Amino acid sequence: MLGKIRIQRIQKLHQKKFRLLEKRFIAEGTKTVLDLIRANYPMECVIATSDWIKTHLKSPCNAEVIEAEQFELDKISCLHTSPEVLALCELPVLQASPIENTRLTLVVDAVRDPGNLGTIIRLADWFGVHQIFASDDTVEWTNPKCIQASMGSFVRLQPIYRSIDELETLCLENHSYAADLEGDNLYTTVVKSQGILVVSSESHGLHPVLQRSVKQKLTIPSAHKPGIGPDSLNVAIATGIFLAEFARQANS
Amino acid sequence: MLGKIRIQRIQKLHQKKFRLLEKRFIAEGTKTVLDLIRANYPMECVIATSDWIKTHLKSPCNAEVIEAEQFELDKISCLHTSPEVLALCELPVLQASPIENTRLTLVVDAVRDPGNLGTIIRLADWFGVHQIFASDDTVEWTNPKCIQASMGSFVRLQPIYRSIDELETLCLENHSYAADLEGDNLYTTVVKSQGILVVSSESHGLHPVLQRSVKQKLTIPSAHKPGIGPDSLNVAIATGIFLAEFARQANS
């Protein structure tokens, strides 16, 4: 049994202010929790049904394992359909490593939608991005919808938050690109795949400071003439296309 | 004023069965409604606040324009934040045109999430796809979340629903590709950009009938070895990367 106090404590973690205060966040679902266990990720506890424990926990786990009834998981889950397993994770103190000169670094600017940020983390993981920096006004990566959308990739890649001034320095000191509606054609540009790529929310556009500090702006050409067809692409979709093209050029 | 009967009628259109019965669907928000008006799309009426009408309706509109109070729009909107304008559109009877030999045709297989389908329609529009076919078990494109995610692109590009047998014939009779986790490397394959591309939901995978009827399966390579890193990419993201690569090859 979980107990009322623990249930209330976990329910509070659905809110950002308690996640920051308690330095804990929730990760749910079989794939994500197994990724956490495999990676030896610091967790306070794993809460699961007895069936889940029997089926999935064959080897030891570095966290306390608490057996719970499905109705208890329903109470603490952030999801519409509550899963059979949930982990209470420790919020790590992240340290940036020096910019690598073999792999791409991603900068996420003002992405407010947690689903988009989670999808970007999953994409960055897929394409082997070295590090993600995010502007201070980007949604926090421990938001349950972000954790969910990242599909376990947050275990390997967590955004490090920086002020716009720090991101400016990063762009000025390195070979930096930004995805922008007005830029050079992505497909006819030879890119350095160990540089910095800045992506920003399609509704706000690129921050003016980053506009002027990146070395080159690049665009994904549309089949339509300007003013006809879609105005833009969603930021996660655009990030996918950019990362794919950087990866293609790096491997060809 | 909208009147109680019209409000109730529109509220019913939030449900699929009434959309099919009444042959009407709802499209919301300034960009989408202006796209509809510009395209002369068949609409029963446009419902908007007086402010919206004053600001946006400079030229004549092919549908009845009904002025409404914001609280009335709140009642009929499908969105969390209700917009200032909403259109009641006629459900068109769609006819497939012959497969073009200059542009790509997209086949969407078993995509159940309306946000994903809407994003795919927006992407297909961006990259100038000629036509979209969807399997019968794909979510309907008039779902409010799909309309929303398509950002007006459904005005130019509406999926045509077909049985799996019809899609099989399409794949057998044309040069067809499928996005698949086990396929040839997308980046080292020379593709025919006037072929057929099949994309399927990442949770269900490609339908067995399409598995065996497409000419070639292609994959987006991951930076990780199999078993490490993300298992897959979201279907809308993968579609974006595929369409971008087909467009790049067509233009290089």
Sheet holding B196-200, edge to edge: B160-162, B131-135, B105-109, B196-200, B176-185, B216-219
Higher pLDDT, B8 or A61: B8
**Mean pLDDT computed over A66-83:** 93
What is the model's pLDDT at position A228? Answer: 79
Q: What is the CATH number of domain B105-250?
A: 3.40.1280.10
pLDDT tens for B204-240 read 889 999 999 999 999 999 998 877 788 899 999 999 9
CB distance B88 to B26 below 8 Å: yes
Domain ranges of chain B: 4-90, 105-250
**Pairwise CB contact (< 8 Å): B230 & A188:** no
B-chain CB neighbours of A187 within 8 Å are 247-248, 251-252
Nearest 5°: phi and psi at A131? -155, 145
Task: Name the closest residue on chain A to residue B155, using Cα atoms.
Answer: A229
pLDDT tens for A208-240 read 999 999 999 999 999 988 777 888 999 999 999
The nearest CA of chain A is from the CA of B6 a distance in Å of 31
What is the model's pLDDT at position B177? Answer: 97
B13 pLDDT above the threshold of 80: yes
Nearest to A83 by CA among A132, A136, A147, A21: A147
CB distance B63 to B52 below 8 Å: no
**Mean pLDDT computed over B162-169:** 97
User: How far apart are the C-alpha atoms of A2 and A17, rounded to whole Å?
Assistant: 23
The nearest CA of chain A is from the CA of B117 a distance in Å of 13
A40 pLDDT above the threshold of 80: yes
Nearest to B237 among A220, A237, A251 (CB): A237
Task: Name the closest residue on chain B to residue A157, using Cα atoms.
Answer: B229
**Pairwise CB contact (< 8 Å): B229 & A153:** yes
Q: What percent of chain A has pLDDT over 70?
A: 100
**Mean pLDDT computed over B111-126:** 97
**Token pair belonging to A58:** 């064959």
Taking residue B59's Cβ as centre, other Cβ atoms within 10 Å add up to 7
**Pairwise CB contact (< 8 Å): A123 & B237:** yes
DSSP state of B186: G
Nearest to B234 among A119, A220, A233 (CB): A119
What is the model's pLDDT at position B117? Answer: 98
A244 pLDDT above the threshold of 80: yes
Identify the band that residue B202 occupies on the pLDDT scale cut at 50, 70 and 90: confident
**Pairwise CB contact (< 8 Å): B244 & A220:** yes
Nearest to B230 among A126, A187, A238 (CB): A126
Alpha helices per DSSP H over chain B: 4-12, 16-22, 30-38, 50-56, 70-76, 114-126, 144-150, 164-173, 208-213, 235-250
Q: Select from B30, B153, B237, B251 the residue whose CB has the most chain A CBs within 10 Å, as the one to mutate to test that interface.
A: B237
What is the model's pLDDT at position B219? Answer: 96
**Pairwise CB contact (< 8 Å): B128 & A233:** no
What is the model's pLDDT at position B226? Answer: 79
Higher pLDDT, A191 or B1: A191
Angle between helices A235-250 and B235-250 (to 10 degrees): 50
What is the model's pLDDT at position B221? Answer: 94
What is the model's pLDDT at position A227? Answer: 76
Residue by residue, DSSP assigns A133-169 as EEETTSPPTTSHHHHHHHTTGGGT---EEE-HHHHHH
Q: Which range, A91-95, B3-7, B25-29, has the best average confidence (pLDDT)? A: B25-29
**Pairwise CB contact (< 8 Å): A122 & B234:** yes
A-chain CB neighbours of B221 within 8 Å are 247, 251
Task: Name the closest residue on chain B to residue A122, using Cα atoms.
Answer: B230
CB distance A145 to A118 below 8 Å: yes
B159 pLDDT above the threshold of 80: yes
Q: What is the mean pLDDT of chain A?
A: 93
Identify the band that residue B24 occupies on the pLDDT scale cut at 50, 70 and 90: very high
Task: Name the closest residue on chain B to residue A242, using Cα atoms.
Answer: B241
Task: Name the closest residue on chain A to residue B157, using Cα atoms.
Answer: A229
| A33-52 core/surface letters (b: 16 or more CB in 10 A; e: else) | bbbbbeeebebbbbbbbeeb
Exposed, middle or buried by CB within 10 Å (0-12, 13-18, 19+), for B6? middle
**Mean pLDDT computed over A88-99:** 91
User: How far apart are the C-alpha atoms of B152 and B141, rounded to whole Å?
Assistant: 12
Task: Name the closest residue on chain A to residue B118, using Cα atoms.
Answer: A234
What is the model's pLDDT at position A193? Answer: 82
**Mean pLDDT computed over A137-145:** 96
B165 pLDDT above the threshold of 90: yes
Amino acid letter for position B84: E
A-chain CB neighbours of B156 within 8 Å are 229
A1 pLDDT above the threshold of 80: no
Identify the band that residue A153 occupies on the pLDDT scale cut at 50, 70 and 90: very high
Question: Strands B85-90 and B24-28, how do they pair?
Answer: antiparallel
**Token pair belonging to A70:** 């499905």
Cross-strand bridge partners of residue A248: none
Q: What is the mean pLDDT of chain B?
A: 93
CB distance B92 to B24 below 8 Å: no
What is the model's pLDDT at position A231? Answer: 86
Q: What percent of chain B has pLDDT over 90?
A: 81
Identify the band that residue B9 occupies on the pLDDT scale cut at 50, 70 and 90: very high
Task: Name the closest residue on chain B to residue A243, using Cα atoms.
Answer: B241
Residue indicated by tokens 């914001």:
B70
The nearest CA of chain B is from the CA of A234 a distance in Å of 8
CB distance A117 to A135 below 8 Å: no
pTM of the model: 0.94
Nearest to B241 among A152, A230, A241 (CB): A241
**Pairwise CB contact (< 8 Å): A152 & B220:** no
User: How far apart are the C-alpha atoms of A246 and A189, rounded to whole Å?
Assistant: 10
Identify the band that residue B58 occupies on the pLDDT scale cut at 50, 70 and 90: confident
Superfamily classification of domain A4-90: Ribosomal protein L30/S12 (3.30.1330.30)
Q: Select from B187, B218, B232 the residue whose CB has the most chain A CBs within 10 Å, as the one to mutate to test that interface.
A: B187
Q: What percent of chain A has pLDDT over 90?
A: 81
pLDDT tens for B66-103 read 999 999 999 999 988 889 999 999 999 898 888 888 89
What is the model's pLDDT at position A99? Answer: 86
Identify the band that residue B55 occupies on the pLDDT scale cut at 50, 70 and 90: very high
Q: What does R_g of chain B's alpha carbons equal in angstroms? A: 20
User: How far apart are the C-alpha atoms of B158 and B194, rounded to whole Å?
Assistant: 19
